[in-house]
Amino acid sequence: MENLILQANLREKTGGASAKQLRKQGLTPAVIYGHDEQKSVSVNYHDFDMLIHTMHSEHAMIKLKLDKDEFDVLVKDVQRDSVTHNIIHIDFLVVSLDEVVKVDVQVEIHGEAEGVKNQGGVLELLKREIQVECQAAKIPDSIVIDVEPLNVHDVVHVKELPPIEGLKYLDDPETVIVTVAPPTVHVETTETEGEEEVVEPEVIGEKKTEE
């Protein structure tokens, strides 16, 4: 787990109008809760946005500094605007480092699959995050899957993920994470294929005119 640090400030006012004003100032409203803590805070939008780009998942552990206090928190929820996708609110859950938590961890692919390299297949990542259960201090940055041995039609299920001490995978063991799909076959059609003889319609009244 990386050592991620973020500065927060207490919010004196809450509500929609106050939150809107904070966003105009480049701040994002947030809450801290858990372990008898309940605080309304704000964080710098740019700082948090930069932070999540260094994180492997939005749901990661960070150290939140608030005045003279420090909290080990889990980024529990990140709300985004439905149109702009900008972050509009964050929930921070206070946890102890030895506490067992459930969190989504990103899947990371290692190597080039044999089925892609020499068989013309296409690697398909069907599930990008895996839900795990472990101590907060032992949340992995990612779940690494070595795909080099995979041939066309091979798959990797949740049950085949690498074991990690103290970590439990919570997704269905039969769920497919990654597969190598066969190459796409393009069938060329000839110009005459599908063509039918065109029969001109009889013009009513034409025979009578000739007579």
The DSSP bridge partners found for residue 30 are 41, 90
Q: CA–CA separation, 3 vs 55, rounded Å?
A: 10
pLDDT in tens, 118-157: 999 999 999 999 999 999 989 988 999 999 999 999 999 9
Confidence category of residue 178, pLDDT binned at 50, 70, 90: very high
Query: What percentage of the chain exceeds 70 in pLDDT?
Result: 84
Ordered by start, the domain boundaries in the chain are 5-95, 102-181
Q: Is 102-181 in the same CATH topology as 5-95? A: no
Q: Residue 97 half-sphere exposure, CB side, CA atoms within 13 Å?
A: 9
Q: Residue 69 pLDDT > 70, yes or no? A: yes
Collapsed DSSP state (helix, strand, coil) of residue 99:
coil
Pairing of strands 27-34, 87-94: parallel
Residue spans of beta strands (DSSP E) within 45-164: 61-66, 69-80, 87-94, 100-110, 122-125, 129-135, 143-146, 155-157
Q: CA–CA separation, 128 vs 177, rounded Å?
A: 8
CATH classification of 5-95, choosing from 1.10.1380.10, 2.60.120.10, 2.40.240.10, 3.40.630.30?
A: 2.40.240.10
Query: Which DSSP helix (H) or strand (E) runs through 41?
Result: strand 37-44
Q: Stretch 100-117: mean pLDDT, rounded?
A: 94
Q: CA–CA separation, 104 vs 97, rounded Å?
A: 17
Query: What percentage of the chain exceeds 90 in pLDDT?
Result: 67
Q: Poorest-confidence range of 20-29, 30-39, 167-176, 190-199?
A: 190-199
Residues 6+ apart with CB under 8 A from 77: 89, 90, 91
Q: Residue 209 pLDDT > 50, yes or no? A: no
Q: Which amino acid is at 21?
A: Q
Pairing of strands 27-34, 5-10: unpaired
Confidence category of residue 211, pLDDT binned at 50, 70, 90: very low
Q: Give the number of other CB atoms < 10 A from CB of residue 79.
A: 14
What rounded mean pLDDT belongs to the chain?
A: 87
Q: Which amino acid is at 18?
A: S
- Residue 190 phi/psi, 5° resolution? -80, 165
Confidence category of residue 177, pLDDT binned at 50, 70, 90: very high
Write down the pTM of the prediction. 0.74
> How far lies 66's CA from each of 50, 51, 57, 73, 87, in Å?
19, 17, 23, 12, 20
pLDDT score at 57: 67
CATH architecture of 102-181: Beta Complex (2.170)
